[in-house]
Chains A and B, each alone.
Chain A
Amino acid sequence: MILTKLAYKSLLNRRASVLLTLFTIAISVMLLLSIERIRVDAKSSFSNTISGTDLIVGARTGDIQLLLSSVFRIGHTNNGVSWQSYEYITHQRGVKWSIPISLGDSHKGQAVLGTTLDYFAHYQFAKKQHLTFNQGHAFTAINEVVLGSDVANSLNYKLGDQIVISHGMGNTSFHHHKDNPFKVIGILNATGTPVDKTLHIPLAAIDLIHGSSAHNEHDEHEKHNDLTGHPKQITAFLMGFDSPLYTLQIRRNINQYKKEALLGIMPTVTLKELWQMLAIVEKVLLLFSGVVVLVSLLGMLTTLLANLNQRRRELAILRSVGARPWQLFTLISIESLFTTLLGCIVGSALYYLVMLLASSYLQSHAGISVNIAMLSYYELTLIGVIMAAGFIIGLIPATRAYFYSLSDGMSIKI
């Protein structure tokens, strides 16, 4: 069709400014798609962090603080849960399983978590997936450690390596527990959750390295077999129930527990609350990328309008060979549509490039596992909205071309 050909040739003729416009659109599309993908994947990574756990119990703080410290290893609680309370609560009716966890130590900036074998049996993430071993197996002795996949990858540890745990968090911790090196006995598969960045050691070992066991004078032979030990307190514990009906009841009991100030949270509920707190950030990000798209489209409008005045002669010539005003309207619309379309295509390509380059960084630094997949229905909708916006904005110069051609007729105005 002649109009398409004219639009194409005319764009080609003005390629410098068209390319510039195209790239601003492409970059804005790339930004919008990237931000959206990271947002969606962050949300799913986030809610995939823990599943199948009905209740998390820790010393009384805020719901979110407990969730952050126990699941995300962010911040730490000063108080713990006494072992007696743990024993008491987990022996109530309806408790299917429980996992005690003890945090507070680290290895080269990665969290060390003391726990029992129940952790490997009952801890679930994403869609009720259990932890699986890439190499080796769960610890069987007090001086053995199971690594999360990121820990093994980033620090390049293999099975059989000896490692030393530091007291407290952070790389620069001065107090190393050098007396008690641990042997790498297992490496977990990647989960896309904080588990990947965690070193798991027997609960008994935590007390051993701190010399704080309630029964320090235990016999040698007992030490190696008893992985739980007799800790005075733990950081928190996770519980699963036979039936969800128990959750609320036991939670109420925990929150009213007289002997110790405890807090029980339902991780799914608290995750949702936490995400809602972050929703404002999410919305600001979305707003920003929306504004970037708008600015790029306005840039296109500016160029189109600026060019249009110089093109009045062109419009007059086309009128002289019989082009109708609506055909000139269509011509200019096709040009803006074509620019937006190409911008969207290039933008999508850039987006894949960026995701490809950034995915490993996002995984290791933000714990967001980015899915590099076909454009989702949602993303296609976003692109569709940009196309529609580009088209609508293109109608402005197109309308002007229509009226120029009516008022100028064939008199050449330049």
Chain B
Amino acid sequence: MISLNNVTFKWHKNDPIPTLNIPTLIINKGEHVFLHGPSGSGKSTLLALLAGINTATSGDVFILSQNLNTQSNTKRDAFRADHIGYIFQNFNLLPYLSPIENVTLGCEFSKSRQQKALKQHSEPKPSLQKEAVRLLNALGLNEQYHNKDVATLSIGQQQRVAAARAFIGSPELIIADEPTSALDANNRQNFIKLLFEQAKLSCSTLVFVSHDESLKPLFDRAIDLMSLQEPL
């Protein structure tokens, strides 16, 4: 699913030490991986490489057996739209769209995800809205909130909407960048369980980043970014 070979990344060409230096990292299909490390250990940088926002200075980043490093910007944007769902730490939602519209936004930029989303329904007239409603319900957001102003939702509710947007159209890879850091302990566990359920249903690989090591036991595998990096 994901395989990194001898990846280094420097923000500027002349930086003496690369921000990231990963000899090898392999994540299998369907794995739920907990990626942790202190601040400044390069978590965000690694996610930017996985999402195809930045490209490695050297080495190869394979996702779904495609080398993102050799692709053009446009291709990487299209790849991200088709295959990756992304959940931010907070403020995930566009303030001028309803929760439902925020969810369907997840497949507005990808034909293949739209089709996959519509395939979830066997009814004669499937729609993205119906799929959004299904996902929001599955992630524990009651229908009464589906068309509310997103600003009135609690952070926990907003993160559920963000998760539904990441899952719509069943992308192969879900990247969650500290999505629970603004939630209280109860909500956190709950939210992660729901994420796992959805990831199982859509056979998605989940890369979950956090500095909160108490969450570690919930995952299949934990990767410490500090130990992953080649010592210099």
Contacts and interface: CB of A to CB of B under 8 A. Distances in A.
Interface stretch (A130-138, A384-392, A404-412): A404-412
Given A313-B91, A317-B92, A317-B93, A322 B110 contact: yes
A6 B93 CA distance: 13
Interface stretch (B31-39, B48-56, B186-194): B48-56
B108 interface: yes
Given A321-B81, A409-B54, A9 B96 contact: yes
A282 interface: no
B105 A321 contact: yes
Contacts of A317: 88, 92-94
Given A409-B48, A410-B51, A320 B97 contact: no
B96 A12 contact: yes
Contacts of A12: 96
A313 B96 CA distance: 13
B106 interface: yes
Given A313-B91, A322-B110, A324-B77, A410 B97 contact: no
Given A320-B86, A321-B86, A321-B165, A409 B96 contact: no
Between B48, B53, B81, the greatest number of chain A beta carbons within 10 A of the residue's beta carbon is seen for: B53
Contacts of A10: 94, 96
Between A313, A317, A321, A323, the greatest number of chain B beta carbons within 10 A of the residue's beta carbon is seen for: A321
Nearest to B83: A322
Give the size category of A's interface with B: 20 to 34
Contact of B109 (A9, A13, A323, A410): A323
B183 interface: no
B74 A321 contact: no
Given A410-B86, A411-B44, A321 B53 contact: no
Interface string A296-335: 0000000000000000011011111111110100000000
B114 to A, nearest CB: 11
Interface in B38-96: 44, 47-48, 51, 53-54, 73-74, 77-78, 80-82, 84, 86, 88-89, 91-96
Nearest to B108: A2
Given A410-B48, A411-B44, A322 B88 contact: no
Contacts of B106: 321
Contact of A9 (B88, B93, B97): B97
Contacts of A13: 95-96
Contacts, number: 69
Give the size category of B's interface with A: 20 to 34
A3 to B, nearest CB: 9
Given A9-B96, A410-B53, A321 B88 contact: no
Interface in A1-32: 2, 6, 9-10, 12-13
Contacts of B93: 317
A411 B48 contact: yes
Contacts of A318: 94, 105
B108 A314 contact: no
A9 B101 CA distance: 11
Contacts of A411: 44, 48
Contacts of B91: 313, 412, 414
A322 B82 contact: yes
Interface in B147-172: 165
A410 B49 CA distance: 11
Contacts of B78: 322, 324
Nearest to B95: A13
Contacts of A2: 105, 108-109
Interface string A257-278: 0000000000000000000000
A411 B84 CA distance: 16
A321 B109 CA distance: 7
A13 B97 CA distance: 9
A205 B171 CA distance: 100
Given A2-B108, A314-B94, A320 B77 contact: no
Given A2-B108, A6-B97, 13 more contacts: A9-B97, A314-B95, A317-B88, A319-B53, A320-B86, A321-B86, A321-B105, A322-B82, A322-B84, A323-B81, A324-B77, A327-B109, A410-B88
5 contacts: A6-B97, A13-B96, A321-B165, A322-B82, A409-B48
Interface of A: 2, 6, 9-10, 12-13, 313-314, 316-325, 327, 409-412, 414
Interface of B: 44, 47-48, 51, 53-54, 73-74, 77-78, 80-82, 84, 86, 88-89, 91-97, 101, 105-106, 108-110, 165
3 nearest CB pairs, A to B: A322-B81, A13-B96, A409-B53
